[in-house]
Structure 1
């Protein structure tokens, strides 16, 4: 396993420090993100942001040319490495910013993209893209530049296949691949009650239970199917589930190696639990 993903947002810099210490001197592929700058000064309640024992920083959003260049240099310093392979504009979009996104996207379109493209053309990074949670901002981004990859979290899963009709065909036409983040939809597909980073609503819980019942009927773990499902689509190059511990990581490796019979996917389609048009992995 050689591909790793991090961001300044994760632990307010702590993730980058840990990842850098782990990867330094090894043969790796690393994606890191821009769009947030870290400023000195600890936030009052880090758990409000889901952060456990973060570094003493707070976040300032900046998708401008200067902001992206500064973030890239800061990332390298925190990592302590001389190479980031894939540079992603992080959490651009209305899902994160609401009405303020118009200004942030304008900054990306008029400056941030130019910075990322310069870093790619100079060889400082090998690929550029977005790291986001929504389809629409990816569609919007295709209109402002040439992107190599979108890290799209939570949208191509057993619970949701919304990119199939418009986004994935548009990405295929543009030559943009997909890294699928959040294949467990924040935990609902591994038995927890979280979906999209919040408490799962009743309809999502009901669908997850229906998927689980079908997996039980085929004697397979639902998380194994959830982990492998996105890779059925040719445009998806990788799936990154985000384990929280060594034990979860080991479990994920087991799930990834679990055989899933073709009849399982056919049953999900027959019962309307996944889209009829959804590509699925082939056994063997």
Structure 2
């Protein structure tokens, strides 16, 4: 297999500005039928979406199975680009476990639970198992799932050593041997991405919720480091747990970082929403398009839980936003002065 350097292969041209975050296919928070899952993937393909991101953790294999079944039917030549994740093994649940209950944020009939494991053997098994569930000869991008202090707190140094001593070696073997096209992290913090880039050779980073209309701290050191190293970013969580999708005009509750939003965050979103109204711009469109202006960002991957949501996301990504809106956002101090904005 001819593998070009990942920094050149995976950009907005190849991944597409809008990708598909497939956590919803694993019954995230609520059930989705197999038929609805298939219809959602087919709607994405019909809309021209060519990049799908998934993980074993999403429904404990269910999301990978559903995505694999839909793509096997609609894309037998594997022309789409698929990323999945390693770092969580799937262990059998205890006898008597209620599979209809919410478990680790999913309502999944799969009799497994996910357990963090960044060892060499776990990464290799995870890759093989994902290929089987996805029904694919290759997986284009492998991300290490949820390494870092955000997920592990004080256990992070031990787990990071486990990754670099074990799992990273497996990732390098897979990439350097041509079995995967790129390796990286899939995380909710940019700090561990910097730590990983200091310790190893990674191509891509999937960063969720940390470069958005509400957060641009990654501009200080991380995004310049990515530019210097030729590392591309995929942005997950562009709506910051939904507050940038729905706004704060209603009665709430409003969520940010998977918990109730602070008064300061609500006030900031209200100010952004007011400027959106002044310029006739949907808040969700501004949130979706903002990260794409940075030259290191290869794609934005909101979660989509229905065919209608796919159509909506495509419309938001294509929504015309006047340059005066971004100028007013900058003048009001609602985005950083050094943040690139859409042309």
TM-score above 0.5, yes or no: yes
2:217 partner SS: coil
1:49 maps to which of 87, 104, 107: 104
Alignment of 1:202-241 (within 5 A): 202-241=263-302
State the partner residue of 1:255. 316
Determine if the alignment matches structure 1 residue 82 to structure 2 residue 134. no
46-55 or 21-30, which moves further after superposition?
Answer: 46-55
Given candidates 28, 51, 59, the residue that maps to 1:11 is: 59
> Is the 8 Å Cα contact of residues 149 and 156 (structure 2) preserved in structure 1?
yes
Is 1:120 the counterpart of 2:183 in the alignment? Answer: no
For the 8 Å contact 2:60–2:108, the answer to whether it is kept is no
Distance 1:247 1:119 in 2: 37
Per-residue deviation, 1:124 = 0.5
Q: Give 2:206's aligned residue.
A: 151
Task: Please list every run of 5 or more consecutive structure 1 residues that lacks an aligned counterpart in the other structure.
Answer: none
Structure 2 unpaired stretches of 5+: 1-48, 248-253
The number of equivalent residue pairs is 282
SS in 1 for 2:110: coil
Separation of aligned partners in 2, 1:201 and 1:107 = 36
1:39 aligns with 2:91: yes
SS of the residue corresponding to residue 241 of structure 2 reads helix
Tell me by how many angstroms 1:194 deviates. 1.9
3-state DSSP of counterpart to 2:305: coil
Residue of structure 2 aligned with 1:268, choices 306, 329, 334: 329
The answer to whether the Cα contact below 8 Å between 1:13 and 1:54 also exists between their aligned partners in 2 is no
Cα displacement string for residues 154-181 of structure 1 (whole angstroms, at most 9, x for unaligned residues): 0110011110010001111111111011
Residue matched to 1:242: 303
Pick the aligned partner of 1:71 from 108, 121, 126.
126
In the alignment, the residues of structure 2 paired with residue 273 and residue 183 of structure 1 have an alpha-carbon distance, to the nearest angstrom, of: 16
* Aligned 1:150-189 pairs, distance under 5 A: 150-189=205-244
Q: Does the Cα contact within 8 Å between 1:146 and 1:174 map onto a contact in 2?
A: no
Instruction: Measure how far apart 1:54 and its partner are.
Output: 4.5
Q: Deviations over 1:228-264 (max 9, x none)?
A: 0001100001000111222221111111110011110
Shift in Å, 1:85: 0.3
Bigger RCO (CA 8 Å, 6+ sep): 2
Asked whether the equivalents of residues 86 and 123 of structure 2 are also in contact (C-alpha less than 8 Å), the reply is yes
Task: Give the whole-Å Cα distance in 1 for the aligned partners of 2:152 and 2:89.
Answer: 15
SS in 2 for 1:49: coil
Deviation digits for residues 197-219 of structure 1, max 9, x if unmatched?
22222211111111111100101
Query: Structure 2: how far apart are the matches of 1:56 and 1:162?
Result: 40
Partner of 1:29: 81
Q: Given that residues 149 and 179 in structure 1 are in contact (C-alpha distance below 8 angstroms), is that contact kept between their aligned partners in structure 2?
A: yes
Using the TM superposition, name which of 119-128 and 105-114 deviates more. 105-114
SS of equivalent residue, structure 1 residue 143: helix
Tell me if structure 1 keeps the 8 A contact 2:131–2:137.
yes
SS in 1 for 2:165: helix
Worse overlay, 51-60 or 95-104: 51-60
Runs of 4+ aligned residues of structure 1 deviating over 2 Å after TM superposition are 42-49
Deviation per residue, 1:116-159 (Å, 9 max, x gap): 01100111000000000001100100111111100000011001
Q: Secondary structure at the match of 2:123?
A: helix
Q: Distance in 2 between matches of 1:82 and 1:197?
A: 35
CA RMSD across the alignment:
1.4
